[in-house]
Structure 1
């Protein structure tokens, strides 16, 4: 978490590679674009399967949603999300606060096999407990690119390769997240009770801490507030139920702890920019939801 907690690591920056001729050596890794900065609140990026790049993003602030290969992923501060070339996807910030992203977009020639590996093994996200090494490498690459200190395409390609190998190692390494016990207990409680009509006041009372202190811990380690994290968990599960079941909106409202279909409809529309019925019409239900 050291790299994430130091805001000096994330100055606003955008780099786009100049046009190169066709004689460029195809086995060298080549970054098309890379950048760092805040995305505005309530934004959404949608791309179809013609997107030709292997792209990696890290969240350095905020909390967002990522959709790829028919699955929705809830992202928090420090997590990485990975877009293999040729995969339709979307990602969004459904918070009133900006979402901090640092990212790199690599051309497929030179990393085709790695892109295919992540696709075949359905590796689309990496938890914050695994991301410090590749994130630190990407921060270094961006800082040096901004200063213009690289001398040859071979040097750059070597740094990109090292970054990708650290990313692959992070994806394959199982490490328990090093989070404060209080936050671990809070996440466990939310994970097991977000389908109930709970409040953050109840959560704070359960943990024997003040609402203010709990919010401070969440902001530091999760990049968002407890109530926004709770609502994203509910939204993530609502999307799953709309995709995979024939439950009515009234039933889904109950399943996610709202108990009011009109409130659920307003909540969903505010978060995703469309009512639940429109979201469901884009992909028909296929199987019953898991037991809760």
Structure 2
């Protein structure tokens, strides 16, 4: 279709899809998609649309401002943001990019999770072929809309969107930082989960301040140190419940809980059943 947005050059294209009711209720779906080649006259500014936006920069750069953040995405990088909030993006010189609006499934949760941890722009990840997933979304949607079977690619498109979001969540920088920065703290938690563990001690093991440790842990592990310790203790308690004859009271003590009642509350909050009921399950 002809594109009337200022600054969008030939051979750019865009199109629209009409997701099925099943896609809207169960899948990721992409109501708008395209590939734009733009000059410095390109600028989009909106108050809100009820969608999320993923962009892959083929060449050049694109500036983005939303939710109090400003960033610039360059070749090989991916931008992700929530279009329900006021937002603006523009081309400082020249840019070629794939883009698609998406919604459905866990779009809101994934976008919030990734933005909180990594910001608006995700750096180039050579180990991840996410550009191929963008091509899948854009060209599958384009092909589907050119036939009478427009819904036949909805599952493939949803898988591709999920692959992009999952790929961003498991960026290689995460593994590197965990290995180089947070490994001492994680190793100590694994070996001393039954003991009292202080944030100050963990931060000191990693050679960073307490505040830096908490921020880094949250960003690269995906939860706070306290949440990680609790989850690890509960994981060990499940193993003991199923593989030993220890009492619930003894398991609570061996896994670092203050009391059996504290253990039972934490266990029920996590699993919706009591430790005793869990022990009775046949897996």
**TM-score normalized with structure 1 length:** 0.47
Q: Greater relative contact order (Cα 8 A, min sep 6): structure 1 or 2?
A: 1
Q: TM-score, normalised by structure 2?
A: 0.48
Structure with bigger gyration radius: 2
More strand as a share of residues: 2
